Structure 1
Amino acid sequence: MSFEIHVSGRVAHVVDATVPRLIDELVASRITAADADLWGSAAAEEAARRLGWVQAVSVSRPLVAEIEALRVRLGALGISRIVLAGMGGSSLAPEVITQTAGVPLVVLDSTSPSQVLAAIDGDARGDLAATALVVASKSGSTVETDSALRAFEAAWRDLGIDPAERTVVVTDPGSPLEELAREAGYHIFAADPTVGGRYSALTAFGLVPAGLAGADIGELLDEAEATLLEVAIDDARNPALVLAAAIAGVDGTHRRDKLGLVSDGTHIVGLPDWVEQLVAESTGKQGTGILPVVLAPLSPEVDQTPADMQILRIVDDAVHFQILEQHPDEIVISGSLGAQFVVWEYATAIAGFLLEINPFDQPDVEAAKTAARGLLAERPAVTEPAFVEGGIEVRVSEPSLAASGTLAGVLRDLWERLSPTGYVSLQAYVDRTSLPQLAGWRELVAADSGRPTTFGWGPRFLHSTGQFHKGGPAEGVFVQILESTDVDLEIPGRPFTFGELIRAQAAGDAQVLTALGRPVVTLTLTDPQTQVLSLFEAAQ
């Protein structure tokens, strides 16, 4: 088998109780047949337009030769560096593919001015003259990708380089981006409009940037194809049925709605980040959902697993049985990357069936975008911080959160708002290439708060887990980390800069979360490199 899943203990009982129903209702074969009625009448119209991913392997086959030919053509121009401007599933799938293949791809899924500048300026793999840009957006109107394209076009023209020879666009037919690309003479890959962004790993969105960067996308499709029969049949051995039951099934009246994702000795790099956006955005709505939490093998949640969390380990075959013996009551999976993509997409759609929600819409994602646009239009004055400690500006959604007057006290008071089934969300609107150590704060916060803790780079998480935070259970408390620097960058043709855009995106999301009654603390680092240590100390 190209994908294996093993369950034991309590989770095995959940699977045994849930899978027979899925078989009786022919769930797997109905998905393969693109039966849009599976998720109920309210979801049928949306589902009818979003089930193209079940045919992605065969539909994408002709792309392989076209992508490889373009890679050769770009190489003849001296292009050795590929930058991807994309958000959500459009960036996370190519990132996993290229990291696992060991080929370089610069993923630009941020509006941080310094991160955009770093992508433009180049690195050890080459400078701007040796760079091609892949712009990936289903709607063709994503503000982050549009802004990145404008910045690259201007930078190339300043060097006397024609952007048309090195700009590649992946978008749905008829989108504003397709129209722009045709007028500009860019190379266009038409995406399948019947595939949603987070289910697009095996479509042009995943394959074009990964293939241009040098990954063997033909092999990836072969891996996926080898799994298609397994997930299509209504059988107890179907790994997608077992996985869906394990992550969404109910034991009596209880369901573990936090899913701890642990990479433990696997050759696949970064898969939990892709799973996180797929599962969170697909299931986090109508007050329910599954909250994926990306963990390390020694994370606090693994050492002392909360009662409402299910641990899932991604391993390679060689360590399967050793892992099972050491960690009973866990889900253990292994398989090729192509197989993982297929099984997780099926399992997530099946989880939507079990949770009685539409796994293909994202009703709350637009709220933060609308709020950000409003703030960019109105340009309100920045609110004064509740207090400043060591140069870190502290702002709170509720005055009582700042009563202590100390950073450690604010965090302590925020943790006290957590319910027994609550979680912490850390959201870092900073340059992740210059502050990668900030992700380590997650471990300290998880230990300090005693609850599952997610970490997301902003604004990238807005296109994935942002849906869960606003549409899922009202159990989260939120900490935003912003940076205040002198670095900024104009966005050609726009009345705002990258710095203004990322601040508006953070403020817009905080505004929406606050309106929904979620407590939000915003910490602005005025000297990011030195103040990260203060954050670590405050959470100990």
Structure 2
Amino acid sequence: MSFDIHVSGHVKSVVDDVLPSLVSELVASGITAEDPTLWGPAAEQEAAQRLGWVDAVSVSRPLVADIAALRADMVAKGLTRIVLAGMGGSSLAPEVIAQTSGVPLVILDSTSPGQVLAALDGDAEAGGLAQTVLVVSSKSGSTVETDSAKRAFEAAFRDLGIDPAERIIVVTDPGSPLDASARQDGYRVFNADPTVGGRYSALTAFGLVPAGLAGVDLDELLDEADATLLEVAIDSPENPALVLAAAIAGGAVSSAPDRRDKLGLISDGTHLVGLPDWIEQLIAESTGKDGTGLLPVVMLPVSPEVENRPGDLQIVRLVDEAAQFHLFERHEGEILISGSLGAQFVVWEYATAIAGRLLGIDPFDQPDVESAKTATRGLLEARPDATRAAFVADGVEVRVSDPALAASGTIAGVLDALWARVPAGGYVAIQAYVNRLALPELSGLRELVAADSGRPTTFGWGPRFLHSTGQYHKGGPATGVFLQITERTDVDVEIPGRPFTFGELIEAQAAGDASVLATGHGRPVVTLTLTDPQLEVLSLFEAAQ
């Protein structure tokens, strides 16, 4: 079997209760037949246009030869460095595919000026811009991050005397504005299936083109997925997608104190690199709406939530041999999963769609993603003065949504006050709008905050997370408190044809999201701005302890 799942303890009881109805209601075969009525009348119109991922393996097969031929042509010309500009599912799936296969793929899913410069400049080993091909992935082309990156690379190529049409490859929906403009400009275009949403697009052109151009064996990936399709299509208690859906969503619809609506995603020795980040986006954006949802929390095997598991958190452990791992008593009550990457993509997509049915929501829309984009556009147009800091300590500017949060006058005190606002069943979200290439250690703050707050804690790099957990933050249960981390930097990059820079864009994205969370949804928000990031991360870590 290409995918194994084992459940025990409380979660097995949940599965035993929920699974029979999923089987008797023919949910698995219904999804395979692309039945849009499975999620109720309100979701039927959207679902009718968003089930193409069920056929992704067969639809994508003809792409493999074209991608391989293009890669061979590129390599022959010495073009060996692939940069991907994309957001959400357009970047997360190729990132996992490339990392798991051990091939280099530069991901640009940030508006941080430092990261943009790094993508433009390259490095000595991988080659610089002269050896670079840019893949622009966007369903419509209107995504501001992706459009800005495309503009920056076009200008950089021209500065070197290189025709951008020789170096830019576009992946988009047929008939989209980007499709039209790219063809007019002479770019090579790969069209994806328009009936597949971004987060379900791992096995479509969005996942395959950048990964294949980077050197991944796409036939192997599609074979792995193909081997799982029959398993997930059968209405049987052994169907791994039905079991997984019951395990992750069955507990979320239980009544207190047995309710588990948070999923701790742990990669424990598996060969699949970065898969929890892709799962996080798939689940959060699919289920976090209408005041409900499943909150994915990417954790380490030794995270505080593992040692002292909150009652509302279900551990999902990705391992290489689930069939053997379940024998260890310390993993009683966990969901243990193993399988090939292609199988994981298929099973998680089915399971997430089924989870939406169990939760009573439409798993294919994302009604709250646009709100942060609208707020960002408003700030870029109005250009208001920056909100005055409540106080500055150790070079860190502190801003708060409620003055009472800053009453202590210390960063540690502000954090304690923010943790005190976490309601029963709530969570903490850390949002880092910084150059993650320069400050990778900042992700370690998650562990300290989880221990200090005593609650499940998510960590997202901004603006990347706006296309994943950002939907859950606004559409899910109103139980989150938010810690934003931004940076002051002298580095900035112009965006050709736009009246704002990358530095101004990422600042507006952070401020816009904070405004939507605080003013639009009444969520507590603390923003810490590092005026000298390399020096102040340590003081931030000390405050969090």
TM-score greater than 0.5 by the shorter chain: yes
Distance across 2 between alignment mates of 1:17 and 1:189: 45
Distance across 1 between alignment mates of 2:383 and 2:368: 23
Q: SS of 1:6's equivalent? A: strand
Q: CA deviation at 1:420?
A: 2.2
Residue in 2 that maps onto 1:528: 533
Q: CA deviation at 1:46?
A: 0.3
Distance across 1 between alignment mates of 2:216 and 2:406: 49
Q: SS of 1:294's equivalent? A: strand
* Correspondence list, 1:350-361, <5 A: 350-361=354-365
Q: SS of 1:212's equivalent? A: helix
Q: SS of 1:488's equivalent? A: coil
Residue in 1 that maps onto 2:112: 112
Q: 1:518 aligns with which of 502, 523, 530?
A: 523
Distance across 2 between alignment mates of 1:416 and 1:450: 10
Residue in 2 that maps onto 1:190: 191
Q: 1:403 aligns with which of 402, 407, 431?
A: 407
Residue in 2 that maps onto 1:219: 220
Distance across 2 between alignment mates of 1:406 and 1:435: 23
* Correspondence list, 1:420-439, <5 A: 420-439=424-443
Distance across 1 between alignment mates of 2:319 and 2:217: 22
Q: SS of 1:425's equivalent? A: strand
Query: Contact 1:248/1:255 (CA < 8 Å) preserved in 2?
Result: no
Query: Contact 1:281/1:468 (CA < 8 Å) preserved in 2?
Result: yes
Q: Which amino acid aligns with 2:440?
A: P
Relative to structure 1, the CA distance from residue 318 to residue 238 in structure 2 (aligned partners, 3 Å threshold; closer, same or farther) is closer
1:84 and 2:89 correspond: no
Query: Contact 1:2/1:339 (CA < 8 Å) preserved in 2?
Result: yes
* Correspondence list, 1:332-343, <5 A: 332-343=336-347
RMSD between aligned alpha carbons?
0.9
Q: Which amino acid aligns with 1:111?
A: T
Q: Which amino acid aligns with 2:479?
A: E
Q: SS of 1:83's equivalent? A: strand
Query: Contact 1:283/1:289 (CA < 8 Å) preserved in 2?
Result: yes
Q: Which deviations, in whole Å up to 9, do the C-alpha atoms of 1:368-408 show, x marking residues without a partner?
A: 00000000000000111000001100000011000000000
Distance across 1 between alignment mates of 2:314 and 2:498: 45
* Correspondence list, 1:40-119, <5 A: 40-119=40-119
Residue in 1 that maps onto 2:319: 315
Distance across 2 between alignment mates of 1:319 and 1:356: 32
Q: 1:345 aligns with which of 349, 355, 363?
A: 349
Q: 1:453 aligns with which of 457, 461, 467?
A: 457
Residue in 2 that maps onto 1:292: 296
1:4 and 2:1 correspond: no
1:24 and 2:24 correspond: yes
Q: SS of 1:419's equivalent? A: coil
Q: CA deviation at 1:197?
A: 0.1
Residue in 2 that maps onto 1:134: 135
Q: CA deviation at 1:215?
A: 0.7
1:178 and 2:179 correspond: yes
Distance across 2 between alignment mates of 1:320 and 1:356: 35
Distance across 2 between alignment mates of 1:318 and 1:425: 30
Q: Which deviations, in whole Å up to 9, do the C-alpha atoms of 1:293-313 show, x marking residues without a partner?
A: 000000000111100000010
Which segment drifts farther, 425-434 or 174-183?
174-183
Q: CA deviation at 1:421?
A: 0.7
Relative to structure 1, the CA distance from residue 229 to residue 318 in structure 2 (aligned partners, 3 Å threshold; closer, same or farther) is closer
Q: CA deviation at 1:63?
A: 0.5
Q: 1:331 aligns with which of 331, 335, 338?
A: 335
Relative to structure 1, the CA distance from residue 508 to residue 252 in structure 2 (aligned partners, 3 Å threshold; closer, same or farther) is closer
Distance across 2 between alignment mates of 1:20 and 1:408: 50
Distance across 2 between alignment mates of 1:345 and 1:42: 21
Q: CA deviation at 1:52?
A: 0.0
Query: Contact 2:4/2:322 (CA < 8 Å) preserved in 1?
Result: no
Q: Which amino acid aligns with 2:43?
A: A
Q: CA deviation at 1:318?
A: 7.3
Q: Which amino acid aligns with 1:539?
A: A
Relative to structure 1, the CA distance from residue 285 to residue 323 in structure 2 (aligned partners, 3 Å threshold; closer, same or farther) is farther
1:278 and 2:282 correspond: yes
Query: Contact 2:322/2:338 (CA < 8 Å) preserved in 1?
Result: no
Query: Contact 2:284/2:471 (CA < 8 Å) preserved in 1?
Result: yes
Q: Which amino acid aligns with 2:448?
A: L
Relative to structure 1, the CA distance from residue 416 to residue 486 in structure 2 (aligned partners, 3 Å threshold; closer, same or farther) is same
Query: Contact 1:15/1:246 (CA < 8 Å) preserved in 2?
Result: yes
Q: Which deviations, in whole Å up to 9, do the C-alpha atoms of 1:156-192 show, x marking residues without a partner?
A: 1001011111110000011111111111111100010
Q: Which deviations, in whole Å up to 9, do the C-alpha atoms of 1:247-306 show, x marking residues without a partner?
A: 000475242001000001100000000000000000000000000000000000011110
Query: Contact 1:29/1:233 (CA < 8 Å) preserved in 2?
Result: yes
Relative to structure 1, the CA distance from residue 322 to residue 35 in structure 2 (aligned partners, 3 Å threshold; closer, same or farther) is closer
Distance across 2 between alignment mates of 1:315 and 1:116: 34
Q: SS of 2:216's equivalent? A: coil
Distance across 2 between alignment mates of 1:401 and 1:329: 38
Q: Which deviations, in whole Å up to 9, do the C-alpha atoms of 1:109-134 show, x marking residues without a partner?
A: 00000100000001121100000000
Residue in 1 that maps onto 2:248: 247
Q: SS of 2:386's equivalent? A: coil
Gaps of 5+ in 2: none
Distance across 1 between alignment mates of 2:134 and 2:443: 27
Q: SS of 2:458's equivalent? A: strand
**Paired positions, count:** 540
Query: Contact 1:112/1:431 (CA < 8 Å) preserved in 2?
Result: yes
Residue in 1 that maps onto 2:472: 468
Q: Which amino acid aligns with 1:36?
A: P
Q: Which deviations, in whole Å up to 9, do the C-alpha atoms of 1:500-539 show, x marking residues without a partner?
A: 0000100110010012010000000000011000110001
Q: Which amino acid aligns with 1:131?
A: T
Query: Contact 2:295/2:472 (CA < 8 Å) preserved in 1?
Result: yes
Distance across 2 between alignment mates of 1:58 and 1:22: 26
Which segment drifts farther, 200-209 or 244-253?
244-253
Query: Contact 1:320/1:332 (CA < 8 Å) preserved in 2?
Result: no
Query: Contact 2:389/2:397 (CA < 8 Å) preserved in 1?
Result: yes
Q: CA deviation at 1:325?
A: 2.7
Which segment drifts farther, 177-186 or 235-244?
177-186
Query: Contact 1:264/1:315 (CA < 8 Å) preserved in 2?
Result: yes
Q: SS of 1:482's equivalent? A: strand
Query: Contact 2:2/2:340 (CA < 8 Å) preserved in 1?
Result: yes
Residue in 1 that maps onto 2:379: 375
Q: CA deviation at 1:323?
A: 5.8
Q: SS of 1:132's equivalent? A: strand
TM, length-normalised to structure 1 = 0.99
Query: Contact 1:226/1:339 (CA < 8 Å) preserved in 2?
Result: yes
Q: SS of 1:82's equivalent? A: strand
Q: SS of 2:316's equivalent? A: strand
Q: Which deviations, in whole Å up to 9, do the C-alpha atoms of 1:338-373 show, x marking residues without a partner?
A: 000000000000000000000000000000000000
Q: Which amino acid aligns with 1:4?
A: D
Distance across 1 between alignment mates of 2:437 and 2:218: 27
Distance across 2 between alignment mates of 1:323 and 1:210: 36
Q: CA deviation at 1:24?
A: 1.1
Q: CA deviation at 1:319?
A: 7.3
TM, length-normalised to structure 2 = 0.98
Q: Which amino acid aligns with 1:410?
A: V
Distance across 1 between alignment mates of 2:463 and 2:136: 17
Distance across 2 between alignment mates of 1:303 and 1:96: 28
Q: Which amino acid aligns with 2:543?
A: A
Distance across 1 between alignment mates of 2:420 and 2:254: 30
Distance across 2 between alignment mates of 1:406 and 1:252: 40
Relative to structure 1, the CA distance from residue 283 to residue 187 in structure 2 (aligned partners, 3 Å threshold; closer, same or farther) is same
Distance across 2 between alignment mates of 1:388 and 1:96: 39
Distance across 1 between alignment mates of 2:410 and 2:505: 29
Q: SS of 1:311's equivalent? A: strand
